Amino acid sequence: MDSEPIMENLRAIQNHKHFGLKEGQITDKIQVEDGLKYLSRGNRVLQYKLLLHDQAPGHGQLLWCVQAKSVKEELIEVFPHGFFLWGLHFRTLRELIEWFKETGWRNRDKCRKDFREEPGLTCFNTERLRMFAA
């Protein structure tokens, strides 16, 4: 398997404007979590940051919170043909982030439950299939 597409996808995470804090200068998970809590104080806006996963090499991590509550973390699986979040395939990181901001974060519990219980049957399968068919 050619690892270059995987490396390109990992670089896409590192080059994203929401990678770490201070334009990617701070990538320590604890500091990023504290920064997210600070950024989300007093507002209802979704705040998120991306990191390379510290315990799953070759994958990414999406850290997010709303209203300075607990920071949630999601594994972004990185493959040559794109990214996976809760078993849902996204061809680009931009596509994943857009979907997460519009739909995913509000439906996190259902998506995670579906992914854990029936890995082949994930939340919004029909919605995602319609998007790819278009």
Q: Which of 15, 4, 27 is nearest to 94 (CA)?
A: 15
pLDDT digits (tens, 9 = 90+) for 73-86: 999 999 999 999 99
Location of structure tokens 């919605």: 127
User: Could you tell me the residue ranges of all domains in the chain?
Assistant: 4-133
The gap between the terminal CA atoms of the chain, to the nearest Å, is 29
Residue 34 CA to residue 104 CA, distance in Å, equals 22
Q: Who wins on pLDDT, 116 or 71?
A: 71
Provide CATH code, domain 4-133: 3.30.505.10
What is the pTM for the complete model shown? 0.81
